[in-house]
A and B are shown apart, each in its own frame.
Chain A
Amino acid sequence: MKKRSIVPYGPQHPVLPEPIHLDLVIEDEKIVEAIPSIGFVHRGLESLVQKRDFNQMVYVAERVCGICSFGHGFGYCEAVEKIMGVEVPGRAKYLRTIWFELSRLHSHLLWLGLLADGFGFENLFYQCWRIREKVLDVLELTTGGRVIFSVNKIGGVLKDVDEDMLAAVKDMLDKIELELKPIVKTFREEKTVRSRLDGVGVLTKQQAHDLGCAGPFARASGIKSDMRKMGYAAYGELDFDIITSDVGDSYARCDVRIGELFQSISIIRQAIEKLPTGDIAVPVKGNPDGEAFIRIEQPRGEAVYYVKGTGTPFINRMRVRTPTFANLAGLCETLKGADYADVGLLILTIDPCISCTER
Chain B
Amino acid sequence: MTKYIEGFKKYRFLLRELVKKGIKLKYRRSYLGIIWTLLEPLLTMMVLTLVFSTFYGKNDRSFPVYVLTGRLLYSFFSQGTKTAMKSVRGHAAMIKKVYVPKYIYPLSSVIYNFIIFLISLIVLVGVSIVLGVYPNWWTLTAVLPLLILFLFTLGVGMILSTIAVFFRDTEYLWDVALMLIMYTCAIFYDPSRLMKTGTDWVFRLNPLYALIKCFRDAVYGASMFSEPYWFFMPLCVSIITVIIGFGLFKWKQDSFILHI
Instruction: Answer yes or no: are A and B bound together in one complex.
Output: no
